[in-house]
């Protein structure tokens, strides 16, 4: 069984060969073993971006950049069947943490959340980008998930379009004690431009103390090309609003591999001059560790 290294007491995460590495807070894995892990009814093998994305494949890309742990995000190819991710968590031990998906339209999503938490899951993803009903965050099932997340300190992880940020603010106001994590900078810049009103709507969420932002998915934002310098002002503004302890970096592997893995981690590790060593340690590991490990 793979084991993560013991936590280091320094404030600066280390690169390859160091005592403590980075944590990638947004990684997807899947297999082509469709007998043991069938795809959901909405996907066929031809729909997959690549045949497999195994944990070992991930580390082949990530370890040269200093990553030794990651947060696995349930892959939509499997729908609400979290079996492959759970088996990966069991196989690799403390190297991975997990964010699952449950059917919020069922009568009692809390029961499934409770059982998954017992198996080590610390967060639950809601795809509020593609599902119009989920985008409104107004259903009874979603309210139950938010309420239970607050009671048990389980993080609700939201994939949203930037136009929905005011709806997220309303929901966070209703459930102020629920940990919420916004994926991919709220996808501000997903259409090319980085609108000021969307940036400020994202930063306005900082008034809710339990909201965190995932500084991730650079390949899909603004110019969608490395070195992603046009994202630096957006990240700086989010940093000013939330502070480093409420931000965490993630790659969105393997979808991020339209460019090199190093193109993603180097944005935070090397090119955000406003970060101190202490700040960088939070974005590249300590924030994800505090929430998921």
pTM across the whole model? 0.91
Q: Is 201 helix (H, G, I), strand (E, B) or coil?
A: helix
Mean of all residue pLDDT scores within the chain: 92
Residue linked to tokens 């009103």: 197
Q: Give the residue, 13 or 83, on which the prediction is more confident.
A: 83
* Neighbour tally for 44: CB within 10 Å: 11
Band the pLDDT of 17: cuts 50, 70, 90. Answer: very low
Q: Give the residue, 16 or 134, on which the prediction is more confident.
A: 134
Q: Is the pLDDT confidence value at 1 over 60?
A: no
22-292 has which fold? TIM Barrel (3.20.20)
pLDDT tens, position by position, 97-155: 999 999 998 889 999 999 999 999 999 999 987 666 666 787 899 999 999 999 999 99
User: What is the share, in percent, of the chain residues with pLDDT greater than 70?
Assistant: 91
Q: Is the pLDDT confidence value at 291 over 60?
A: yes
Report domain extents, the chain. Answer: 22-292
Q: Is the pLDDT confidence value at 7 over 70?
A: no
Bridge partners of residue 96, in order along the sequence:
70
Band the pLDDT of 74: cuts 50, 70, 90. Answer: very high
Q: Is the pLDDT confidence value at 233 over 70?
A: yes
Q: Is the pLDDT confidence value at 42 over 70?
A: yes
Q: DSSP readout, 22-47?
A: EEEEEE--B-S-TTTSPPPTT--GGG
Our CA angle for 190, 180, 121, nearest 5°, is 110
The pLDDT value given to residue 2: 36
- Tally helices (H) and strands (E) across the chain: 11, 8
Q: Is the pLDDT confidence value at 29 over 80?
A: yes
Q: Report CA 117 to chain centroid distance, whole Å.
A: 17
Distance in Å from the first CA to the final CA of the chain: 17
Q: How far is CA 43 from CA 39, 46, 49, 61, in A?
A: 6, 8, 11, 26
Least trusted range by pLDDT, from 65-69, 125-129, 254-258, 275-279: 125-129
The pLDDT value given to residue 131: 67
The pLDDT value given to residue 137: 81
């Amino acid at each position: 069984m793979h084991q993560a290294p013991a936590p280091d007491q320094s404030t600066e995460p280390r690169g390859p060969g160091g005592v403590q590495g980075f944590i990638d807070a947004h990684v997807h894995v899947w297999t082509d073993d469709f007998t043991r892990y069938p795809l959901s009814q909405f996907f066929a093998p031809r729909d997959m971006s690549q045949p497999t994305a195994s944990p070992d494949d991930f580390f082949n890309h990530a370890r040269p950049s200093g990553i030794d742990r990651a947060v696995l995000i349930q892959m939509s190819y499997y729908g609400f069947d979290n079996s492959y991710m759970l088996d990966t968590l069991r196989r690799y031990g403390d190297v991975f943490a997990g964010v699952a998906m449950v059917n919020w339209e069922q009568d009692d999503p809390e029961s499934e959340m409770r059982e998954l938490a017992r198996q080590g899951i610390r967060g639950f993803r809601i795809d509020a980008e593609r599902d119009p009903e989920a985008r409104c965050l107004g259903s009874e099932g979603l309210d139950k998930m938010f309420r239970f997340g607050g009671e048990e300190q389980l993080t609700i992880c939201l994939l949203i379009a930037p136009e929905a940020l005011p709806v997220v603010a309303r929901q966070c106001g209703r459930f102020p004690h629920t940990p919420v994590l916004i994926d991919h900078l709220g996808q501000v810049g997903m259409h090319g431009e980085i609108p000021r009103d969307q940036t400020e709507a994202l930063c306005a969420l900082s008034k809710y103390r339990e909201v965190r932002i995932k500084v991730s998915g650079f390949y899909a934002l603004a110019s969608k090309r490395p070195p992603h310098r046009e994202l630096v002002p957006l990240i700086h503004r989010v940093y000013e609003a939330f502070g480093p302890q409420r931000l965490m970096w993630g790659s969105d592997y393997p979808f991020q591999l339209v460019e090199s893995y190093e193109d993603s981690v180097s944005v935070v590790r090397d090119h955000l001059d406003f970060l101190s060593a202490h700040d960088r340690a939070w974005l590249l590991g300590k924030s994800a560790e505090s929430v998921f490990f």
